[in-house]
Structure 1
Amino acid sequence: MPSAIQHAQDLLDYIDASPSPWHAVQSTATTLNTYGFEELFEGDAWALEQGKHYYVKRDDSSIIAFTTGSKSLAEHGFNLIGAHTDSPGLRVKPKPDNQKGAFSRIGVEVYGGPILATFTDRDLSLAGRVHVLQNGELSSRLIKFKNPFLRLPNLAIHMNPKVNTDGLKLNKQTELPLLLGVANDELKKQPDMAELIANELGIKQSDISAWELHAYDTQGGSLYGLNDEFYANSQLDNLASCHAALMALVSDASLHSSNFNVCAFFDHEEIGSNSHKGADGSFLPDVLERIADTLQLSSEDYKRTLSNSFLISADMAHAYQPNFPSAYEPDHKVLVNHGPVVKVNANIRYASNSASQARFIQLCKQADVPYQTYSHRTDLGCGSTIGPITSAQLGINTVDVGCPMWAMHSIRESAGVQDHGYMTRVFSQFFS
């Protein structure tokens, strides 16, 4: 395994190449291809071979990759890690062009629960996918505008004198459209969205059928701290977990293991997972059942397989921020660079139970990795993950874990270099 700093830099490169869920799946597939994984398609018949490695995508923003080991699947089950490819942010509306006087703006809709104030005064651009109809054939194209051409300027303190006492409050309908440009006698009206897309993809505007785009911060990821012990980027929640799981899956320990190892990265976690490609959909159950069918397992043996399986739900955790001590449960503060976090909630907002906690702690000890335990303040609402959903769907015992991070759902999040290496080591131990 590379050094902790090299591993963190690889994560930052992975995120920089993945400004949307569709790009994240493309980045993941590129890595899998490098390690000899074969792509499967849901519409085809599958003929799996023992000892080979495969992946399958659903709608290009969710992906499941797996290895086929020599162990009895019914007796040993699947070793699964689940994470998600989406992050909170601003999605472009279907009819986004918004002309207000001399100003050209792009209309956006809030996706999930971002910290909206962090999107102000950033060098924003757009990324996502576009569906194109040419010669009677529909196709999907990824698009990433590299240059920053959008901005959400803050209101000066002279017009908003209470901003530092009351906080920045933005009306989601009227105050979030992104500024594209200003027209005057010398400057022509700014191009509309269809024109921008057509120019970027080198197609005609009439070829464009539909798009799914969201705003992203063009500032790349960076290491920081006196000894580069921290890193910052967008989408750490939850591409950092995807990257750790992916690197564990393609490690020598995993590829030469006799286990059936599975990574499942879902879209739509940030909005409830209730979609055909979300964790509450049929994607993972379909894939696991097809693996069992291809291996000619009986219905009873498939049920045994699920009973003997174990799922690690990997999603980032809230690191203690000492400027806000009252926001945390005082006996469960987790610290950056102090190890992976086991997340526990009595109301099953996290899927962890004592048995699944004990198994993950055992993995940490085997990998010589420190660990921490997190519980949310009882008087604050607790977020959730794909863990409870997937565990309930499949009947698989599950633990919820994550690396500690600051500023979750900000456009610029940060975390610890050592923790990312720790988590990857534990995942590699799980897959070995």
Structure 2
Amino acid sequence: MAYLDASPTAYHASANARARLEEAGFSALDEGAAWSLAAGRGYFVERNQSALIAFRVGSGCLATEGFRLAAAHTDSPAPKLKWRGAAERSGVLRIPVESYGGMLQSSWFDRPLAIAGRVALQAASGGVRWQLVSSSRPLAIIPGLAIHLNREANQGTAINVQQHLAALCGAGSFADILKELCGARPEELLDADLFLADCQPATLCGINQDILSAPRLDNLSSCQALLDALIAAPLTAATPVIFLADNEEVGSETAQGAASAFWRDTLERLCLTQGDADHETIFRALSRSFLLSVDAAHAVHPNYEEKHDPAYAPQLNRGVVIKNNASFRYSSTAVS
């Protein structure tokens, strides 16, 4: 639960994964530098401060032993601040937002919200200084309209993101928020990727404390599982690799997404570090590899049981869900 609480954005999820790997003895690699890898050693490479590939070099030849691959994603749906539009309205600071990913928009109303993400600041040297930021307290709220002013509220109300989901931050200015987040002045800010984040910590609830309530379970729970597995895994002939990708919630088609060349390029570079590698090594290695796509699954909701096929109805705390789809939305087959 600590990983969930400490990772309000994909940037923090990647940074916290990096810290865990370094603590476990894994070494950071630079995409722009030459790589020299040793069997049995752990390494990782990061892109965009939000996606990370980590692996432990196996003892065997990649061409004959292949990879053991698993992927999850660091991002979750959230309102992204359109911070340049911050302005006072009716005596309070109002910041418009846009939806990142498939947000359940109504769930963001009437709860204390932090502001988190990353900022690009003008460095004293004239370059750019990146800084991860996360408010230590709630700075915003998206209040719903009182039922006295909308008697039809319980019949369902269409939500206009631009109008209804803007964050209200009380009296003050965006300069005050920036100062609290990173101590910077507005003239130092070059750009920012800032999101609203649920402040409520991960909590166990239920009679037997067997229900985990937390934001960002999709898919930080899988990131945590893959990190635990890779760190604890013994040395094997095959090379285990995990990919904590970003931007799954918007289609994965970014430089740090699962549909990018980041993963394939990293695997090919792994092959090229072996002394007897040639241009066929990557193809031979992939043919002997296996991939798990690890993500959240929907358990049966007791209040909406009709949404599930009764013969394929996963229940909470009953084990791993293996997804199948006849149209290959998921690639599980009888062979895999």
Q: Normalization by structure 1: what TM-score?
A: 0.75
CA deviation profile, 1:269-309 (whole Å, cap 9, x unmatched): 00000111111111101100100011142222221100111
**Following TM superposition, by how much is the alpha carbon of 1:353 offset from its aligned partner in structure 2, in angstroms?**
1.6
Post-superposition offset of 1:240: 0.3
TM-superposed deviation, 1:137 = 1.9
Question: How far apart in 2 are the matches of 1:152 and 1:204?
Answer: 26
Relative contact order, higher structure (CA 8 A, sep 6+):
2
Q: Which of 26, 38, 63 in structure 1 is aligned with 2:52?
A: 63
User: For residue 140 of structure 2, what is the amino acid of its counterpart?
Assistant: L
Question: 1:198·1:208 contact (CA, 8 Å) conserved in 2?
Answer: no
2:331 aligned to 339, 351, 369, which one?
Answer: 351
Per the alignment, residue 280 of structure 2 pairs with 300
Match of residue 191, structure 1, among 173, 186, 189: 173
1:233-382 alignment to 2 at 5 Å?
A: 233-251=214-232, 254-296=233-275, 297-356=277-336
Task: Give the letter aligned to residue 309 of structure 1.
Answer: S
User: Contact 2:61–2:237 (CA<8 Å) still a contact in 1?
Assistant: no
Q: Is the 8 A contact 1:146 1:218 kept in 2?
A: no
Mapped pair 1:171 → 2:150? no
1:146-166 deviation digits (Å, cap 9, x = unpaired): 1112111121222222222x3
Contact 1:78–1:261 (Cα < 8 Å) also in 2: yes
Pair 1:104 & 2:93 matched: yes
Q: Structure 1, unaligned stretches of length 5 or more?
A: 1-11, 183-189, 357-432
Would the aligned equivalents of 1:117 and 1:169 in 2 still touch at CA under 8 Å?
Answer: no
Q: Matches of 2:265 and 2:130 in 1, distance apart? A: 24
Residues 173-220 of structure 1, C-alpha deviations (whole Å, 9 max, x = no match): 1111111115xxxxxxx122x442134312332221100010001111
Structure 2 stretches lacking a partner, 5+ long:
none
Name the counterpart of 2:138.
Answer: 148
Which amino acid is 1:54 matched to? Y
Q: Secondary structure at the match of 1:280?
A: coil
Q: How does 1:393-432 map to 2 (within 5 A)?
A: none
The number of equivalent residue pairs is: 334
Per the TM alignment, residue 225 of structure 1 is displaced from its structure 2 partner at its CA by 1.3
Query: Secondary structure of the residue that 1:56 maps to in structure 2?
Result: strand
Q: Percent identity?
A: 37
1:94 Cα shift?
A: 4.4
Relative to the length of structure 2, the TM-score reads 0.96
Secondary structure of the structure 1 residue equivalent to 2:21:
helix
Amino acid at match of 1:144: S
Distance 2:319 2:41 in 1: 32
For 2:181, the aligned partner's letter is: E
